Amino acid sequence: MSTVLSIEDLRVGVRHRGGHRTIVDGVHLAIDAGTAVGLVGESGSGKSMTARSVLGLFPPGADVSGRIEVGGASVLGDRRALRAARERRVAMIFQDPRAHINAVHRVGDFMTEAMRRNLGMKRAAAEKRAVDLLGEVGIPDGERRVRQYPHELSGGLLQRVMIATAIAIEPELILADEPTTALDVTTQSEVMAILGDLRTQRGLAMLFITHDLELAAATCDRTTVMYAGRIVEEQASSSLADHPQHPYTAGLLVARPSIDTSVRRLPVIPGRPLAAFEAGAGCAFASRCAHVADACRASAPPLVTTTTGHVACHRHDELATATPVPSPQEATADA
């Protein structure tokens, strides 16, 4: 199976008040054709910047190093290769469609721009394809919709327009940056079902960014967990939910509400999440970890290969022999 996206030792720093702050610190990630990888973590963990890096969407003056390959071509620092990736290989679905669809252009103009520019399609052919794509994402009466303006559509319909526009260039890779966050639960389910069906039908690879571990497990083949700009764990989604290898992942899983149990208070991870620039010499999660040891404060653990995936934890061998992650009810009782 060919690798569509390969990220090696990606580091991104930004200027801040005359200084320098690291926001992505040594990320390694690979996605094969036809597979979906979920990227999970709290706000500020570096998820979105990792995805945006694939398309070269860096803040002004960013300090970037590492290697990013799309379809075997290095795009980091190579403007021609990056342009080619943007035109045909990679498409991005953003979190808020209203912020990324030009409010003064009709929906059809937004959808056909890339088809006409990147694929060389004539206007009439592009407009017909736009109508067909709207039908694929569950929007009926496409002929009328392409003549409407963004403010005439609901958030759920606009996100479907974003999905249809993303697949219009027939990409190999979809970068989905929390595409359901601004939607109600029912619409979230519909949008994710559409994404899943299109990915399967077209054999697309996908990097799916979310805060929701359950959504990542239901949508993605593998789940990668980030903390403080670094990847701390990666496993097959089917095994991560029951057998997390990193204490941070276990904490996130226990903190999930459940419709099957009633608890007085949900357990939480103590403290606050750190950004990469706040992490010291040791493990960035050490101040919040119930299993912290002297080695954790002394040095940052490397990302190592295990029998089920990858983990960055000095004590992962000990924790791997522990019982599976407890339910919220059990965790509350233990506390």
Helix, strand and coil content of the chain, in percent to the nearest 5, comes to 40, 25, 40
Q: Where in the chain is the domain with CATH 3.40.50.300?
A: 3-220
Buried b (16+ CB within 10 A) or exposed e, 256-270: eeeeeeeeeeebebe
Identify the pLDDT of residue 322.
Answer: 58
Divide the 335 residues of the chain into consecutive groups of 10 and give the mean pLDDT of each group: 93 87 94 95 92 94 94 93 94 89 93 92 95 92 94 91 92 92 81 88 93 88 96 94 91 81 81 90 92 92 92 86 50 46
What is the predicted pLDDT for the residue at 321? 61
**3-class SS at 75?**
coil
Give the C-alpha separation, 318 to 214, whole Å: 25
Nearest-10 Cα torsion for 141, 145, 151, 157: 60
Assign a CATH topology to domain 3-220: Rossmann fold (3.40.50)
Q: What is the CA angle 265-271-274, rounded to 5?
A: 135
Please report the pLDDT score of residue 158 as a whole number.
92
Query: What span, in angstroms and rounded, lies between the C-alpha atoms of 261 and 60?
Result: 48
Answer for the pair 179, 94: CB distance below 8 angstroms, yes or no. yes
> In the prediction, which pLDDT does 45 show?
92
Q: Which residues of 69-91 are buried (b: 16+ CB within 10 A; e: fewer)?
A: bbbeeebbeeeebbebbbebbbb
What's the pLDDT at 49?
94
pLDDT of residue 10: 97
Helices (H), 67-154: 79-84, 97-100, 107-118, 123-136, 142-145
Helix (H, G, I), strand (E, B) or coil at 138: coil
Q: Quick check: pTM over 0.85?
A: yes
